[in-house]
Structure 1
Amino acid sequence: MIRSMTGFASASGSLPPHAWDWELRAVNGKGLDLRLRLPDWIDGLEAGLRKLLSAEVKRGNLTLSLRLARDEQSGAMRVNEAQLASVLEAMAVIEGRADAAGVRLAPASAADIVTLRGVLEQAATEDDAGPLAAALMTEAEALLADFNEMRVGEGAALRKLLLAQLDEIAALTAEAARLADARGATLAETLKRNLAKVMENTDAADPDRVAQELALIAVKSDVTEEIDRLAAHVEAARDLIAEGGPVGRKLDFLMQEFNREANTLCAKAQNTELTRCGLALKTVIDQMREQVQNVE
């Protein structure tokens, strides 16, 4: 199966206290260009992702983005000893003055104290990047599978379109062969008339020279090789599509050969219908070449 170079996939996941969002997208490219936007503090993550992507994708400009966030509310709480000491000292001063003034205060509970600002605070935790990196790599594999599934789907549509265009090229090539055979009698008659005119205005023509010129004209107007090559290219393209895999570059090169033969056919046509057929071939070949640019 062939695959498209374009694709998109996204995913979200979490491993407390971290949560993340992935986004993987690709557009056409002559080679493989990986652009990774990742946090730089997770050791080994970029190297692992590059290895994973390059093993599955052979052509295209890929951009992989990872947005990572940490939930600061998910960590443990701890007592700020210095702040607690300050609060208790202040409470003792207040209670002493209240007693001296004859004011009776309600006793304070631990629940009352921990609600005071600064007494209870978020405990600082050290991030262990190992489990996080492992979780991210596992999810990246699933992300890549979704990405490839989309590329395979687009590749199936491309395959159908390319095979239809090859059928059209094959039909036009067969038509060109028929027209080339049909123009033979007309071309020979035209050549005879032109030769007669030349001979009438020449006193002493060299028979060998005339034979050479006739042979040269015949070669210049013969399109048999071009038609044979076009037919061979059609079969070669069908074989590549059936082979599947990253065959985009080979197909692109083959399209250049298709175009070269169609151009030569038009140049040698010397016939209105054959020229029209050659131009139709060029049109279909150009359309097919545009689609081939999407094949990995």
Structure 2
Amino acid sequence: MLHSMTGFARESAETGIGTLTWEIRAVNHRYLDVQFKIPEDLRPKEQAFRQQASATLGRGKVECALYFRRAMNSDSELQIDTTLVELIGHRISELTSKLPNVAAANPIEILRWPGVVLQTEVDTEPLFDDASALLGQALSAIDGMRASEGARIAEMLQSRCEDIAAISAAVRKRMPEVLAAARSKQQERIDKLDVEVDPGRLEAEVALIAQKMDVDEELDRLDSHLVEIRDALAGDKPVGRRLDFLMQELNREANTLGSKSADTETSRAAVDLKVLIEQMREQIQNVE
């Protein structure tokens, strides 16, 4: 089952000391690149969070942000270091006596002074357990979103494979007609010259032209690549890089078909193939 590399998830949970919120954003990337933005109290647990994300996501640039809003507790919150406040007040009084034109101190500014408002320590272990469980929910949500998008991409790729197979079958069916037309055209040129031609030499020339125009090998490889793509779509493992390689191979066969083309219909078929392959390639860039 295909997974897209793009997705978004947001999960929140109330804990005994506040609200935790995980936001995860993922975009396509050559490999798995997970970046975390978490509160400093939980920074020592970043490696554990990283391992948890890597176990779920296989590829993509992933940004994980954890927000923590502490619950207000009148008994423990906004405790002020009165000793420090008194010291700051004395120093302000000294400055005011020397600089009488200085505006009075704003109490709010004093509260912002480092150490004035005492912060109660947070027990990180229970908080980590809650954050880890919530991260699991967010990862499941984004994985589901990526799987849903991957299913849509797989459906589109299957449809394009059917279109490519139809074009390949049509070109193969027309090849006897194309070769007959080339033989007739060669005979017309000889008739215009009004000269005797060795039938054996004519057959040799026609055989040489047919060999240059033969695209059976290219069509066989094209069909083989389509089988590989369908097998990859039916698997469970990440196949983004494999599909990208197969797109290169399909494009190579389409280019060869166009270079060997001897009529407008075959040339048009080669162009249609390249359009379909490019549509597939654009979608595959987003496949895990």
Q: Which bin holds the TM-score, normalised by the shorter protein?
A: 0.7 to 0.9
- Of 240, 244, 247, the residue aligned with 1:248 is 240
Question: Residue 148 of structure 1 aligns with which residue?
Answer: 143
Task: Assess if the C-alpha contact under 8 Å between 2:78 and 2:118 holds in 1.
Answer: yes
Q: Distance in 2 between matches of 1:238 and 1:254?
A: 11
SS of equivalent to 2:280: helix
| Cα offset, 1:178, TM superposition | 1.3
Question: Residue 160 of structure 1 aligns with which residue?
Answer: 155
* Change beyond 3 A, Cα 1:75–1:226: farther
Q: Distance in 1 between matches of 2:32 and 2:79?
A: 54
1:10 and 2:10 matched: yes
Task: Assess if the C-alpha contact under 8 Å between 2:10 and 2:138 holds in 1.
Answer: yes
Task: Assess if the C-alpha contact under 8 Å between 1:36 and 1:65 holds in 2.
Answer: yes
Aligned amino acid, residue 239 of structure 2: V
Q: Distance in 1 between matches of 2:244 and 2:22?
A: 32
| Cα offset, 1:48, TM superposition | 1.2
* Change beyond 3 A, Cα 1:198–1:26: farther
SS of equivalent to 2:40: coil
Q: Distance in 1 between matches of 2:239 and 2:50?
A: 22
Q: CA RMSD in A?
A: 3.2
Task: Assess if the C-alpha contact under 8 Å between 1:262 and 1:278 holds in 2.
Answer: yes
1:285 and 2:277 matched: yes
1:236 and 2:233 matched: no
Q: Distance in 2 between matches of 1:250 and 1:281?
A: 19
Q: How does 1:262-281 map to 2 (within 5 A)?
A: 262-281=254-273
Q: Distance in 2 between matches of 1:75 and 1:212?
A: 102
Aligned amino acid, residue 187 of structure 1: A
Aligned length: 255
- Aligned-pair identity (%): 39
| Cα offset, 1:274, TM superposition | 0.9
SS of equivalent to 1:245: coil
* TM-score normalized by the length of structure 2: 0.77
Question: Residue 34 of structure 2 aligns with which residue?
Answer: 34
Q: How does 1:63-102 map to 2 (within 5 A)?
A: 63-73=63-73, 75-76=75-76
Task: Assess if the C-alpha contact under 8 Å between 2:79 and 2:119 holds in 1.
Answer: no
Aligned amino acid, residue 42 of structure 2: I
Q: Distance in 2 between matches of 1:245 and 1:155?
A: 12
Task: Assess if the C-alpha contact under 8 Å between 1:3 and 1:152 holds in 2.
Answer: yes
SS of equivalent to 1:42: helix
Measured against aligned partners, the alpha-carbon deviations of 1:47-106 in whole angstroms (never above 9, x if no partner) come to 0111111121111111111122223435548999x99xxxxxxxxxxxxxxxxxxxxxxx
SS of equivalent to 1:41: helix
Deviates most, 6-15 or 246-255: 6-15
Measured against aligned partners, the alpha-carbon deviations of 1:211-238 in whole angstroms (never above 9, x if no partner) come to 9977654433211111101111111100
Question: Residue 126 of structure 1 aligns with which residue?
Answer: 121
Task: Assess if the C-alpha contact under 8 Å between 1:14 and 1:20 holds in 2.
Answer: yes
Q: Distance in 2 between matches of 1:219 and 1:186?
A: 14
* Change beyond 3 A, Cα 1:127–1:12: same
Aligned amino acid, residue 58 of structure 1: G
| Cα offset, 1:295, TM superposition | 1.3
Gaps of 5+ in 1: 84-121, 201-208
Q: Distance in 2 between matches of 1:43 and 1:78?
A: 24
1:62 and 2:62 matched: yes
* Change beyond 3 A, Cα 1:79–1:37: closer
Gaps of 5+ in 2: 84-116, 196-200
Q: Distance in 2 between matches of 1:272 and 1:263?
A: 15
